[in-house]
Structure 1
Amino acid sequence: MPNTPAAIGKGVTALYARSDAPDSMVALARQLLSAIGGVVMIDDEALMDAVTAVSGSGPAYVFLLAEMMTSAGIEAGLPDALARQLAEATVAGAGALIEDSDEPPSQLRINVTSKGGTTAAALAVLMDDDGLGPLMRRAILAARDRSVELGS
């Protein structure tokens, strides 16, 4: 399933091909789907529900992050338009850095975090036992489970 960034050629689509699918058909499908972004092959159709949860629904998670950063920026004292501009540019820039870097996101996070600094203070909250990690896991598993239900 393509995700919404496909509208600007930045999507990602997972493709499953049965073992008896002709190579020429798989190549054609890859070529067609590459017009809207990246294509990843999966070797087990059962993975499609998890793909949907991470990638199909994933843009909404990032959009929500930008919304929440904007709201928190306003609460911290920024004018509405500036908070939105900063949040959107930060999300876009971080995404571009992930895409362009050979380092995993965990290392990029470490690189930007100064011991005892402002980023460390924020990450202590986000990485707490009831922080973003457990919430993201619950959200992705809920999306996966709903995808399974819809496929039944």
Structure 2
Amino acid sequence: MTGSPTSPSLSSDGIAFIGGGNMARSLIAGLIRRGVAPASIRVAEPVATLRTALARDFGVTAVADAAAAVPGAALWVMAVKPQVMREVCANLAGLAQQAAPVIVSIAAGITGGQLDRWLGGDRAIVRAMPNTPALLGAGITGLFANARVTVAQRAQAEQVLASAGRTVWIESEALMDAVTAVSGSGPAYVFLLAEAMEAAALEQGLPADAARTLVLDTVLGAARMLTEAGEAPAELRRRVTSPGGTTQAAIETLQAGGFETLTARAIEAAARRGRDLSAAND
């Protein structure tokens, strides 16, 4: 599901970003591209150099103190690390109770229940898990809204995350760790495959520049086929795997090494780590 165009209310109501790192930057850039006024966005970021860059690059107001960023904002994007989320929320709990914004968290492993408790209770909370291609406007974000989120707030949250790519709503929060494991961490799996393919190409004697180009364009082309061909991955794989050919030899080698099982174990490990982050920061 793709995000809808930005509504005037998203800009007029104001947006506060708590944390001004790379993911916040990508969302801010996307919002401004979609017509949200920079004056309606405030960012709390403790690092002075990052504040300067945010103000310079996007024309937004960047402040050091989170409490100074949230007044008048109907939507707060919590873009801090999971390890500090509890402290940040505790410091903002009083303001959250007064202002009743919709809270959008992009912190891995932190549950809506934890956020609600740390912010004083009865809060409208959306959990979001974007991934790093959001930096290019090509991300994918899984979203979950608790029961207090209104239809209008749900639309606002989606508009913010859709500024960096497509969005998918998940109806069970228990599945958000799986979202993190599949798409949040997923780009790294593709990067690792590309890294291994490039190293193997060098071992086969290909020049470094040729190896890099061949691998990158192969990954890009395969991704386009997956998204544009309208066919299941298994069917696309079958079509390029001629019986007795070179591709079959490679696929059989990967499968003999437990490729599918190892991938499933990797995703389970990532999901388990998400659950561990929740427990460790409770």
Bucket of the pairwise TM-score, normalised by the shorter protein:
over 0.9
Question: Which residue, 5, 12, 24 being the options, matches 2:152?
Answer: 24
- Residues 98-137 of structure 1: pairs in structure 2 closer than 5 A: 98-128=226-256, 130-137=257-264
Displacement, 1:19? Answer: 3.0
Displacement, 1:96? Answer: 1.0
Q: Quote the residue 2:265 is aligned against.
A: 138
SS at match of 1:127: helix
* Cα deviation 1:55-114 (Å, max 9, x = unaligned): 110000000010000001111111111111111110111011101121111100001111
Displacement, 1:131? Answer: 2.5
Extract structure 1 runs of 4+ deviating beyond 2 A: none
Relative contact order (C-alpha < 8 Å, sep 6+): which is higher? 1
How far, CA to CA, are the matches of 2:253 and 2:261 in structure 1?
Answer: 12
SS at match of 2:243: coil
Higher fraction of strand: 2
Q: Does 1:68 align with 2:204?
A: no
TM-score, length-scaled by structure 1: 0.96
- Residues 89-104 of structure 1: pairs in structure 2 closer than 5 A: 89-104=217-232
Structure showing greater radius of gyration is 2
Question: Which residue, 48, 52, 60 being the options, matches 2:176?
Answer: 48
How far, CA to CA, are the matches of 1:5 and 1:12 in structure 2?
Answer: 8
Unmatched 5+ residue regions in structure 2? Answer: 1-128
SS at match of 2:163: helix
* Cα deviation 1:119-149 (Å, max 9, x = unaligned): 0000001122x33111111111111111110
How far, CA to CA, are the matches of 1:97 and 1:45 in structure 2?
Answer: 31
Aligned length: 151
Q: Does 1:147 align with 2:269?
A: no
Q: Quote the residue 2:115 is aligned against.
A: none
How far, CA to CA, are the matches of 1:106 and 1:142 in structure 2?
Answer: 24
* Cα deviation 1:20-77 (Å, max 9, x = unaligned): 3200000111111111001000001111111101111000000001000000111111
Q: What's the RMSD between the two structures over aligned residues?
A: 0.9
* % same residue: 51
Higher fraction of helix: 1
